[in-house]
Structure 1
Amino acid sequence: MTIVDRLKAAEHAIAERARDCGRDPAEITLVCVSKTFPGEAVIPLLEAGHRVFGENKVQEARAKWGPLRERFPVELHLIGPLQSNKAREAVETFDVIESVDRPKIAEAIAAEIARQGRRPRLLVQVNTGEEPQKAGVRPQEADAFIKQCREQFGLEIAGLMCVPPVDQQASPHFALLAAIARRNGLKDLSMGMSADYELAIQLGATHVRIGSAIMGERDYSKG
Structure 2
Amino acid sequence: MRKTVPGGKGPGPGGSGDRIRVGRLRGGGDDLVSSIADNINSLRERIARAAGRTGLDGNAVSIVAVTKTRPAEEMDEVVLSGVDALGENRVQEALSKWDPPAPRSSVPWHLVGHLQRNKARKAAEIFSCIQSVDSLELVSALERACLSRGRRMDVLLEVNIGEDPDKFGVSKGDLPLLAEGLLERSTTLDLKGLMTVLPLGLDERRTRSLFASMRELRDGLGSRLGIELPILSMGMSDDFEYAVMEGSTMVRIGSAIFGKRRS
Shared fold per TM-score greater than 0.5: yes
Question: 1:131 and 1:51 mapped to 2: Cα distance?
Answer: 29
Equivalence for 2:101: 70
Deviation at 1:27, TM superposition (A): 1.2
Q: In structure 1, what is the Cα distance between the partners aligned to 2:75 and 2:147?
A: 32
Do structure 1's residue 174 and structure 2's residue 208 form an aligned pair? Answer: no
Stretches of structure 2 that go unaligned for 5 or more consecutive residues are 1-26, 28-34, 223-228
- SS in structure 1 of the partner of residue 132 of structure 2: strand
> What is the deviation of 1:14?
1.2
Equivalences for 1:10-21 in 2 at 5 Å? Answer: 10-21=43-54
**Alpha-carbon distance in 1 for matches of 2:101, 2:176:** 39
Distance in 2 (alpha carbons) for counterparts of 1:177 and 1:199: 13
Which residue among 78, 81, 89 is the counterpart of 1:48?
Answer: 81
Q: Deviations over 1:134-184 (max 9, x none)?
A: 211011111111111111334431100000111333212211211111111
Pick 1 or 2: higher relative contact order, CA cutoff 8 A, min separation 6: 2
Deviates more, 1:82-91 or 1:38-47: 38-47
SS for the counterpart of 1:139 is: coil
Instruction: Determine whether 1:201 maps to 2:244.
Output: yes
Report the CA distance between 1:54 and its aligned residue: 0.7
1:47 and 1:187 map into 2 onto residues whose CA distance is 26
Q: Secondary structure at the match of 2:252?
A: strand
Correspondence for 2:42 among 9, 22, 32: 9
Does residue 114 of structure 1 match 2:157?
Answer: no
| Alpha-carbon distance in 2 for matches of 1:94, 1:189 | 18
- Per the alignment, residue 259 of structure 2 pairs with 216
1:19-30 equivalent positions in 2, closer than 5 A: 19-30=52-63
If each structure's helix is expressed as a fraction of its own residues, which one has the higher value?
A: 1
- Provide the rounded CA distance (Å) in 1 between the counterparts of 2:237 and 2:256: 6
Q: Deviation of residue 43 (structure 1)? A: 2.6
Amino acid at match of 2:110: H
Q: How many residues align?
A: 218
Using the TM superposition, give the Cα deviation of residue 51 of structure 1 relative to its aligned residue in structure 2, in angstroms: 4.2
CA RMSD, Structure 1 to Structure 2 (Å): 1.5
Tell me the distance in 2 between the aligned counterparts of 1:198 and 1:49. 19
Q: Distance in 1 between matches of 2:49 and 2:162?
A: 29
Task: Indicate conservation of the 8 Å contact 1:143/1:180, yes or no.
Answer: no
In structure 2, the partner of 1:127 is: 160
The CA deviation at 1:96 is: 1.1
Equivalent of 1:91 in 121, 124, 130? 124
Are 2:220 and 1:183 aligned?
yes
Of all paired residues, the percent bearing the same amino acid is: 39
TM-score (norm 2): 0.78
Structure 1 gaps, min length 5: none
SS for the counterpart of 2:157 is: strand
Q: What SS class does the counterpart of residue 174 from structure 2 fall into?
A: helix
Paired residue secondary structure (1:199): helix
Mapped partners of 2:65, 2:79: distance in 1? 11
- Letter paired with 1:181: R
